[in-house]
Amino acid sequence: MAGEGFRLDPWGTLEVKDYDRLRRVFGIRPFAEVIPALRELGFEPSLHMRRGILFGHRDFDRVVLEGIRRGERVAVLTGFMPSGRFHFGHKLTADQLIYYQRRLGFKVFVAIADAEAFAVRRIPRGEAYRLAVEEYVANLIALGLDPDKTEFYFQTNRGPAYYRLAQLASGKVTAAEMEAIYGDLSPAKMMAALTQVADILHPQLDEYGGYKRVLVPVGVDQDPHLRLTRDIVDRLSGVVELMRPASTYHKLIRGLDGGKMSSSRPDYTIFLTDPPEVARRKIMRALTGGRATAEEQRRLGGVPEACTVYDLYLYHLIPDDSELLGIYKRCRGGELLCGECKRIAAEKLLEFLEKHQSKLEEARETARSILEPPSF
């Protein structure tokens, strides 16, 4: 049971102060413990792994590392709810998919959670389709996910074996158990949760390739779905033999005011389609870890840990560790002031956006050509 009356709401607005505590409460293992074994197998950890942004896992060793050791196929699956524009929080997940696809050769599945978007956000179907193609799939491709090696699908379009799995899962859990995990649940949310269970498990079915080893990289707010999935796998034994999935958990990048980064808070969220000048203005207004006056900051130094601009460097804009450390030290030491630092960040951001956006039109065409609109 989720300890200490502590619950994660995958549909709520989560702000986590203490990731270590959260990890311990839910029995999530520290990701750092599997990095040496990954290296031993000949793979450099990704930027997010080595910087601790990917802070936790379940069964990464037993499912993923063991799969690599045995030369078995591994699939990675995650999902996006098409409920708004694609932003830097989504990019964090995208970067992980690209790492697994390019560096580790894993098969990639991407669920477009249109059923969930309709059930819990009331996004009309046409709008969900448009956002899926023009925003999510297009940005994923423009970031470098190879469309030839990725299976994108709409939940509402996935086929009978997938739905059958959701239905089987529904028989293996009680309403009280679901409420213990999620709190109060509407029927729509119950359906969405069981549909997500089917997302996570269906690559194991022969109909979808029979990938027994599945890794699910998500933000930690999605862990309730993984706990539910794991229980259901155990209880399906005898009906259909499945393996518990592995999962990894990343920290949630904060919005530019320190609150949640979310499409519903556009002033504090940087979208990958923001015109450069809009993005620059957002950065210049961002909450930093700076002091009240320049004099004070020179004397006491800034606090990068509290700074949303530093978050952007750490998660996205400065891949080079020694360059990042340089900024960290100059901030701490009071040599770098926030005005100059924001100009540096804006320059890096604009350079990224211009390059990314120049690939977007072609990526949109590709997205349109590979994604059929849901048929009913």
Is 199 one of the binding residues for ligand TRP (CB under 6 A)? yes
Is 289 one of the binding residues for ligand SF4 (CB under 6 A)? yes
In this chain, which of 218, 283, 331, 349 binds ligand SF4, going by CB under 6 A?
331
Q: What angle do CA 70, 75, 79 make, to 5 degrees?
A: 155
User: Which residues, 40 to 79, sit near ligand TRP by CB under 6 A?
Assistant: 77-79
> Taking CB within 5 to 8 Å according to partner kind, which of ligand SF4, ligand TRP, none is near residue 84?
none
Q: What is the DSSP letter of 113?
A: -
Is-contact 87 265, C-beta < 8 A? no
E strand residue ranges, the chain: 29-30, 54-58, 74-80, 107-112, 150-154, 213-219, 246-250
* Nearest distance from C-beta of residue 337 to ligand SF4, angstroms: 6
In whole angstroms, give the CA distance from residue 18 to residue 12: 18
> Taking CB within 5 to 8 Å according to partner kind, which of ligand SF4, ligand TRP, none is near residue 196?
ligand TRP
Nearer to ligand TRP, 80 or 208 (CB): 80
> Taking CB within 5 to 8 Å according to partner kind, which of ligand TRP, ligand SF4, none is near residue 116?
ligand TRP
In whole angstroms, give the CA distance from residue 147 to residue 215: 19
Is 228 one of the binding residues for ligand TRP (CB under 6 A)? no
> Taking CB within 5 to 8 Å according to partner kind, which of ligand SF4, ligand TRP, none is near residue 249?
none
Beta bridge partners of 215: 76, 246
Is-contact 250 54, C-beta < 8 A? yes
Is 302 one of the binding residues for ligand SF4 (CB under 6 A)? yes
In whole angstroms, give the CA distance from residue 70 to residue 47: 26
User: Which residues, 336 to 365, sit near ligand SF4 by CB under 6 A?
Assistant: 336, 338, 341-342
User: Which residues, 110 to 169, sit near ligand TRP by CB under 6 A?
Assistant: 111, 113, 116
Is 218 one of the binding residues for ligand TRP (CB under 6 A)? yes
In this chain, which of 46, 96, 156, 196 binds ligand TRP, going by CB under 6 A?
196
Single out the residue of 314, 293, 309 nearest to residue 55, CA to CA. 314
In whole angstroms, give the CA distance from residue 246 to residue 223: 11
Q: What CA dihedral angle connects 287, 290, 295 and 301, to 10 degrees?
A: -170
One-letter amino acid at 88 equals: F
* Nearest distance from C-beta of residue 90 to ligand TRP, angstroms: 9
In whole angstroms, give the CA distance from residue 242 to residue 322: 44
Region from 117-125, 144-152, 334-342, 347-355 binding ligand SF4, contact rule CB under 6 A: 334-342
Could you list the residues that contact ligand SF4 (CB under 6 A)?
288-290, 302, 304, 307, 309-310, 331, 336, 338, 341-342
Could you list the residues that contact ligand TRP (CB under 6 A)?
10, 77-81, 111, 113, 116, 196, 199-200, 216, 218, 222
